[in-house]
Chain A
Amino acid sequence: MVTSFKEVLKSDKFIITAEIGPVKGTNVQKMIDNIEILKDKVDALNVTDNQSAVMRYPSLGTCLLIKEQAGEPIFQITCRDRNRLSIQADLLFSFSRGIENVLCLTGDSLKMGDHPEAKPVYDIDSVQLIQLVHTLNSGKDLSDSSLDGGVSFCIGASATPSADPIEPQLIKYEKKLKAGIDFVQTQAVYDLDELKRFVSYSRNIDKSVKILAGIVLLVSAGMAKWMNENIPGIFVPQNLIDEMAKVPKGEGLSKGIEIAGDIIKKIKDEKICDGVHIMAIGKEEKVPDILKAAGILKV
């Protein structure tokens, strides 16, 4: 990852990012190993921020580990655990240490996580967060005071191409586009027609925004069914669940890698969108295998 993510976004390259989920604790060696495996095979490593509202090693700290390993991090920042002061302070620190990409998210509800009794913040929301980063980029903070040493962040957002009803989600996404983003990563998509509809909607409003399709690695039919029932915005079609169910025990992961590879290959070959964001939750070391299955990484 010698090229900055900002430069990658400007190019015509098929963009690949992968997610790094921080550990619960200080034993960061596994993360360092995963960073080492992935940093030269993807364009950026995207670090979750107390993912699923479960307290973990910080997103910012993990981004720093990636920088130390000469990788390109994307700092995921949610509005759940910080007020506007804390968000701005973290962004200043981030930029001062060379972490120049930020993904602006609302944040999963605390009720979903391991500290359900905590006080949620949501002082600002994801649209306002995007605007906040632009304000910092302009050399000012939210109180209109000048910064002594500014920032120049590359700004990302998330989107949900599959929801019922979809319109409120699209209006929210439209506001993110209006606020100004450089890239968007979608919730996991398995239905490429749905992805195509989203891409067309997005490009009709703003052609310049790079769209990365979310790819979640399936490891079993059970996981696919569980996601369908429990994760809003994710829909794994029945044919993929059947495919996963057919494989002998112990081979679910290989099948999942094959499916993810197929989806990525189709997206790339048919030029459906600009790239993919791979979420191999807990199986980050398998991302190279997914890229091999997609024909992107030579075997």
Chain B
Amino acid sequence: MIGQTKKPIKEILEYLDGKKRIIIYGCGGCATVFHTGGEPEVKEMADILTKNGKDVLAAISPPFGEFTCYAPWSKKRMASYKKQVNDCDAVLMLCCGDGLQVAREHILESEFGLTKSIYPATNPIGHMGGGPSLFREKCIQCGECELGKSSGICPMTQCAKGLLNGPCGGTRKDGKCEVNPDNDCAWVLIYKRLKELGELDKMREIMPPKDWSKMQRPRELEVEPLSLE
């Protein structure tokens, strides 16, 4: 999931300065889990904007499980809001940057043929797993998964320096990380697991420099469309 936090209201109001008629669009996916763009947050945002003199033309909160970043779903969701979108001065997205850009490109521009201001209400902070309360970044989507060589713990994500060949000299007492003493050193964790699995030889292999070209942005994928029926 895409971990995210709320942007300060002050920043949002600055974006919306001079824009009167607003559409709020949340997300039934990650933003619901992280309480940044689920139904309660969409409602709360509508109240705040109304109190700040805005006309909220629509406050859209998709049901849990409906991801705004998945264009077929968001197209369906927004189909009945064409008039409000046409009349609005700005769209405020309570979701990650994926959702915002999908709404801009696939709905506002492609579907409705409109050029409208669109603003984010969250700060996305990474691909996270865990929950239901504590989430940790687990994957940087490097394009070439190394978890098979590191006992199922990603050194590029869990190690603050993303080192591939073992710990830096900064491991603190009790195996804590130099950069964030609350965290375990990723390489101490990997070492312990590999040792338990009897696979320490994997740690002794020198890993070559990472092929970062697999992270050349923007990446894209073409897949067989899912049937939504």
Give chain A's interface residues, CB within 8 Å of chain B.
80, 84, 106-109, 111-112, 120, 122-128, 131-132, 142, 158-160, 163-165, 167-169, 171-172, 174-175, 178-179, 187, 232-233
B179 touches A84 (CB 8 A): no
Please measure, in the bound complex, the distance between the C-alpha atom of A120 and the C-alpha atom of B185, giving whole angstroms. Answer: 18
Give the residue name and chain of the B residue nearest to A108 (CB).
B170
A164 touches B164 (CB 8 A): no
Contacts of B212 in A (CB 8 A): 123
B204 touches A174 (CB 8 A): yes
Rounded to whole Å, the gap between the CB of B168 and the closest CB of chain A is 4
Tell yes or no: B130 within 8 A of A by CB: no
Partner of B162 from the list A122, A132, A159, A232 (CB cut-off 8 Å) is A122
Using A128-B164, A233-B171 as known contacts, say yes or no to A175 and B206 having CB atoms under 8 A apart. yes
A171 touches B203 (CB 8 A): yes
Give the residue name and chain of the A residue nearest to B189 (CB).
A168
Partner of A127 from the list B191, B200, B206 (CB cut-off 8 Å) is B206
Give the residue name and chain of the B residue nearest to A105 (CB).
B169
B209 touches A172 (CB 8 A): no
Partner of A179 from the list B206, B209, B210 (CB cut-off 8 Å) is B206
B166 touches A168 (CB 8 A): yes
A172 touches B166 (CB 8 A): yes
A164 touches B174 (CB 8 A): yes
Using A122-B163, A168-B187, A232-B178 as known contacts, say yes or no to A158 and B206 having CB atoms under 8 A apart. no
Please measure, in the bound complex, the distance between the C-alpha atom of A232 and the C-alpha atom of B206, giving whole angstroms. Answer: 24
B167 touches A169 (CB 8 A): yes
A175 touches B179 (CB 8 A): no
Rounded to whole Å, the gap between the CB of B109 and the closest CB of chain A is 31
Please measure, in the bound complex, the distance between the C-alpha atom of A125 and the C-alpha atom of B207, giving whole angstroms. Answer: 10
A109 touches B160 (CB 8 A): yes
B169 touches A109 (CB 8 A): no
